[in-house]
């Protein structure tokens, strides 16, 4: 009789989810890279090449990863791309080559789910055509990354998607592709008035060549992960995007098309909820958003401009300038609740240095009635009728954080801000990042990553 893999893995709780608690770009790449030193496996569970996780190595080299999990720069770590991720093979192959050029071994360390769906050229075309149409019609575009994410998940849920496993059966692949391409060409031409067309034979030839290149990495990752969990290995489950971009809990329709929230880690990897022992939320010391949609604490003045410049707040995937604002504790309280966040990693605190005043949004007020609002809502109509209420803090000098090795060493003004933020989000700040480098981090567990 085979071993009861599942029931064993459910008891161990050796998985930690790391996810964004705002609108993305919180610096998850750095945190995962840092913690990966003490885990065995890092797994991506949703999203696709819309993500851009930036990692800076001790020798100064800096990389942006879109699909490969952020543990790849630690030789002992196995990296998994789960079934919940939508994979653009062009971006994936490019990224594998980029990492290999840096002398990093990928074969034997990267494992990709055979059940993951593929992004096809028509998904990217439809994503861009839809955005252009909405923009021209009434300016209501989502502001997507244009990477085909929405249309790929649409096909997945409409049961028309092409999965990696489909590449193995050429005859049925041809049939599925022909059907999809006929439909998409018609949509592109008749609905979007586009003259671009997809060619079945060209796409088949291209994807057959991708198949050969990615074949060594493909496996049943759910089985693999459950075996590893049962064997006592420790796992980091790396979220992409963030909770306020979640298709269910974000500011719909200005969201991504997957579940970056903690629940998505189980469905996106095929692991049991009980195997998750801990959820580490990542939040920036201020807030940013790229793309359209509500952003209560947005600063459209010179302070916002300054944060953008000092924080290099330009999209790692698209290069678009990010909208910047003050930390919104109402929103982060909400995402902490949805995800069961056990502690936070606060990033980019250094970006606020040099400001004369720093603000923290602790609650909202309804504009129409003046009533105080303690809880976040993702209802767009209600969000249009609120204004943020701030607690104000004295700023700290540009060099105030330099050389600090613990939270206690930070100047009083910084500590006052951190204490208030911690109180307002109602969960402990476990890690504080004061720069892009691995060493510019306060509070990282030095012992092998502790599983709680």
Q: Is 428 helix (H, G, I), strand (E, B) or coil?
A: coil
Q: Residue from 14, 16, 46, 50 that binds ligand IMP (CB under 6 A)?
A: 50
Q: Say which of 33, 53, 117, 246 is annotated catalytic.
A: 53
Distances (CA, A) of 114 to 60, 117, 163, 165, 347: 35, 8, 7, 5, 34
Cβ proximity to ligand IMP, 127 vs 424, nearer residue? 127
Q: Residue from 14, 16, 18, 24 that binds ligand IMP (CB under 6 A)?
A: 24
Q: What is the smallest separation between the CB atom of 25 and ligand IMP, expressed in angstroms?
A: 5
Cβ proximity to ligand IMP, 119 vs 269, nearer residue? 119
Q: Of 242-261, which residues contact ligand IMP (CB under 6 A)?
A: 245, 254, 256-257
Q: What is the smallest separation between the CB atom of 253 and ligand IMP, expressed in angstroms?
A: 9
Q: Residue from 79, 142, 345, 358 that binds ligand IMP (CB under 6 A)?
A: 142
Whether the Cβ atoms of residue 276 and residue 14 lie closer than 8 Å to each other: no
DSSP H stretches of helix in 21-71: 28-36
Q: Which helix (H) or strand (E) holds 91?
A: helix 89-101
Q: Say which of 25, 155, 328, 350 is annotated catalytic.
A: 25
Q: What is the DSSP letter of 269?
A: T
Q: Residue from 83, 144, 339, 362 that binds ligand IMP (CB under 6 A)?
A: 144
Q: Of 52-91, which residues contact ligand IMP (CB under 6 A)?
A: 52
**Residue listed under structure tokens 């609905």:** 191
143 near ligand IMP, judged by CB under 6 A: yes
Q: What is the smallest separation between the CB atom of 304 and ligand IMP, expressed in angstroms?
A: 17
Q: Residue from 29, 291, 294, 388 that binds ligand IMP (CB under 6 A)?
A: 291
Whether the Cβ atoms of residue 103 and residue 149 lie closer than 8 Å to each other: no
- Euclidean distance between CA atoms 290 and 293, whole angstroms: 9
Q: Of 341-400, which residues contact ligand IMP (CB under 6 A)?
A: none
Strand segments, DSSP code E, in 156-208 are none
Task: For Cα atoms 444, 222, 225, give the angle at the middle one, nearest 5 degrees.
Answer: 40
Give the CA-trace dihedral at 119, 123, 127, 129, to 10 degrees.
Answer: 150
Q: Residue from 241, 259, 336, 362 that binds ligand IMP (CB under 6 A)?
A: 241
Q: What is the smallest separation between the CB atom of 208 and ligand IMP, expressed in angstroms?
A: 27
Q: What is the smallest separation between the CB atom of 288 and ligand IMP, expressed in angstroms?
A: 8
According to DSSP, the residues that pair with 387 across neighbouring strands are: 365
Cβ proximity to ligand IMP, 22 vs 441, nearer residue? 22
- C-alpha count within 13 angstroms, C-beta hemisphere, residue 106: 24
Q: Is 344 helix (H, G, I), strand (E, B) or coil?
A: strand
- CA dihedral sign of residues 319, 321, 323, 325: positive
Joined tokens for residue 74: 């630690």
Candidates 34-42, 46-54, 110-118, 174-182; binding stretch for ligand IMP (CB under 6 A): 46-54
220 catalytic residue (yes or no): no
Q: Which of 287, 300, 368, 369 is nearest to 329 (CA)?
A: 287
Phi, psi (5° rounding) for residue 363?
-160, 175
Candidates 101-109, 144-152, 170-178, 193-201; binding stretch for ligand IMP (CB under 6 A): 144-152
Q: Residue from 19, 81, 149, 236 that binds ligand IMP (CB under 6 A)?
A: 149
Cβ proximity to ligand IMP, 267 vs 415, nearer residue? 267
Q: Which helix (H) or strand (E) holds 150?
A: helix 149-157
290 near ligand IMP, judged by CB under 6 A: yes
321 near ligand IMP, judged by CB under 6 A: no
Cβ proximity to ligand IMP, 143 vs 272, nearer residue? 143
53 catalytic residue (yes or no): yes
Q: Which helix (H) or strand (E) holds 184?
A: helix 170-186
Q: What is the smallest separation between the CB atom of 140 and ligand IMP, expressed in angstroms?
A: 13
Task: For Cα atoms 443, 444, 450, give the angle at the middle one, nearest 5 degrees.
Answer: 120
Q: What is the DSSP letter of 168?
A: G
Q: What is the smallest separation between the CB atom of 209 and ligand IMP, expressed in angstroms?
A: 26
- Euclidean distance between CA atoms 21 and 16, whole angstroms: 15
Q: What is the smallest separation between the CB atom of 144 and ligand IMP, expressed in angstroms?
A: 4
Cβ proximity to ligand IMP, 263 vs 294, nearer residue? 294
Residues that bind ligand IMP (CB under 6 A): 24-25, 50-52, 142-145, 147, 149-150, 240-241, 245, 254, 256-257, 290-291
As annotated, the active-site residues are 25, 53
């Amino acid at each position: 009789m085979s071993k009861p893999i599942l029931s064993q893995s459910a008891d161990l709780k050796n998985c930690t989810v790391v996810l964004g608690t705002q609108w993305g770009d919180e610096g998850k790449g750095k945190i995962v890279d840092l913690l990966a030193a003490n885990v065995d496996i890092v797994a991506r569970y949703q999203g696709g090449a819309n993500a851009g996780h930036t990692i800076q190595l001790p020798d100064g080299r800096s990389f942006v990863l879109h699909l490969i999990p952020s543990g790849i720069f630690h030789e002992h770590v196995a990296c998994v791309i789960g079934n919940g991720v939508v994979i653009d093979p062009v971006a994936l192959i490019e990224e594998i080559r980029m990492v290999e050029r840096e002398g990093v071994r990928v074969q034997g360390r990267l494992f990709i789910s055979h059940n993951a769906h593929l992004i096809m050229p028509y998904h990217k075309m439809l994503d861009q055509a839809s955005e252009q149409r909405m923009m021209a019609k009434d300016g209501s575009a989502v502001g997507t990354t244009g990477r085909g994410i929405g249309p790929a998940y649409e096909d997945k849920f409409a049961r028309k998607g092409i999965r990696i496993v489909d590449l193995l059966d050429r005859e049925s692949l041809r049939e599925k592709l022909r059907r999809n391409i006929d439909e998409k060409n018609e949509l592109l031409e008749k609905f979007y008035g586009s003259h671009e067309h997809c060619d079945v034979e060209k796409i088949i030839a291209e994807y057959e060549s991708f198949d050969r290149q990615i074949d060594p990495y493909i496996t049943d990752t759910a089985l693999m992960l459950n075996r590893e969990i049962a064997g006592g290995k420790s796992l980091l489950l790396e979220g992409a995007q963030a909770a306020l971009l979640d298709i269910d809990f974000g500011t719909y329709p200005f969201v991504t098309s997957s579940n970056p929230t903690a629940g998505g880690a189980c469905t996106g990897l095929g692991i049991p909820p009980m195997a998750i022992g801990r959820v580490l939320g990542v939040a920036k010391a201020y807030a940013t958003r790229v793309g359209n949609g509500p952003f209560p604490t947005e600063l459209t003045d010179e302070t916002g401009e300054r944060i953008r410049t000092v924080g290099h707040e330009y999209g790692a995937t698209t290069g678009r300038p990010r909208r910047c604002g003050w930390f919104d504790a109402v929103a982060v309280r909400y995402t902490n609740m949805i995800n069961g966040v056990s502690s936070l990693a606060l990033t980019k605190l250094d970006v606020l240095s040099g400001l004369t005043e720093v603000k923290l949004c602790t609650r909202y007020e309804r504009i129409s009635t003046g009533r105080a609002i303690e809880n976040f809502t993702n209802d767009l109509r209600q969000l249009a009728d609120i204004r943020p209420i701030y607690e104000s803090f004295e700023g700290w000098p540009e060099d105030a954080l330099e050389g600090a090795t613990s939270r206690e060493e930070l100047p009083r003004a910084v500590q006052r801000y951190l204490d208030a933020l911690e109180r307002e989000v109602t969960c402990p700040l476990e890690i504080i990042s004061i720069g892009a480098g691995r060493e510019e981090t306060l509070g990282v567990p030095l012992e092998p990553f502790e599983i709680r």
